[in-house]
Amino acid sequence: MNEFILDDIYIGLTQSFSVTITEEMLDKFLAVTEDTNPLHIDKSYALSKGFSDRVAYGLLTASFYSTLVGVHLPGKFCILQGLDIIFTKPVYIGNTLTITGKVSYINDAYKQLEIRAIISNQDGIIVSRAKIKTGLIDA
Amino acid sequence: MNKNEILSVTQEIFRDIFDEDDMLIQDSTNSDDIEEWDSLNHINLVTSIEKEFNIRFALGELVSLKNVGEMLNLIIEKLK
């Protein structure tokens, strides 16, 4: 886990990590959220709607934005304050996602960071974009 | 920019932060007048104002502000 403090952080500081989406992740997300929409749990239904498999929950994949800020950028001293997400492409079981965040603004007075983040798949296609606001509780 | 122009731009920022398209602010407006003007939204306001006007505030300048009018005057000072 990274432990960036305000003095370490600059505009353009970038961190990323990768994760592969598994069927178990979808099942666990279903158990927690009880989101039984057939697009996520019924392959034949998803195929009938033009998708190539069950579609991973958007907020399952977006949960890795939490990991991005809570573990990587800024890491330990993060307090998530806001998240604005746009989903651009579907994600399927077996996809390997790379989550990348770059610091785009620093409010020095109140120790707030703005981070532009993207999630891209194994083919380099962006599946979502996010603007994230985090505080820093480094003192 | 004159004060009215700065007020107009700042009002749009308030409308965006507080998600109220018809919100009107004036010099005397303060956090008692806007229910959702809490500490986090205050930080969001400051960040948006800094970015919009391309200025930076120091914490010491912000803690003494009592209302929108004082914020507008501080913005005017920063833009000189």
Residue B1 pLDDT level (bands cut at 50, 70, 90): confident
Shortest CA distance from B61: residue in chain A: A109
Kindly determine whether residue A109 and residue B58, on different chains, have CB atoms separated by under 8 Å: yes
| pLDDT for A139 beyond 90 | no
Q: What is the 3-state secondary structure (H, E, C) of A52-99?
A: CCCECCHHHHHHHHHHHHHHHCCECCEEEEEEEEEECCCCECCCEEEE
Task: Report how far residue B46's alpha carbon sits from residue A134's, in angstroms, rounded to the nearest whole number.
Answer: 14
Residue A138 pLDDT level (bands cut at 50, 70, 90): confident
pLDDT digits (tens, 9 = 90+) for A20-49: 999 999 999 999 999 999 999 999 999 999
Chain B residues touching chain A at CB-CB below 8 Å: 40, 43-44, 46-47, 50-51, 56-59, 61-62
User: Under a CB-based contact definition with an 8 Å cutoff, are residues A92 and A21 in contact?
Assistant: yes
Kindly determine whether residue A105 and residue B58, on different chains, have CB atoms separated by under 8 Å: no
pLDDT digits (tens, 9 = 90+) for B24-80: 999 999 999 999 999 999 999 999 999 999 999 999 999 889 999 999 999 999 998
| pLDDT for A98 beyond 90 | yes
Looking at the complex, report in whole angstroms how far the Cα of residue B27 sits from the nearest Cα belonging to chain A.
Answer: 23
Convert B4-40 to b/e letters by CB count within 10 Å (16 or more is b). Answer: eebbeebbebbeebbeeeeeebeeebbeeebeebeeb
Residues of chain B in contact with residue A114, where contact means CB-CB under 8 angstroms, are: 47
Instruction: Return phi, psi of residue A103, to 5°.
Output: -70, 125
Kindly determine whether residue B40 and residue A81, on different chains, have CB atoms separated by under 8 Å: yes
**pTM of this structure:** 0.86
Query: What ipTM does this complex have?
Result: 0.75
pLDDT digits (tens, 9 = 90+) for A84-94: 999 999 999 99
Residues of chain B in contact with residue A106, where contact means CB-CB under 8 angstroms, are: none
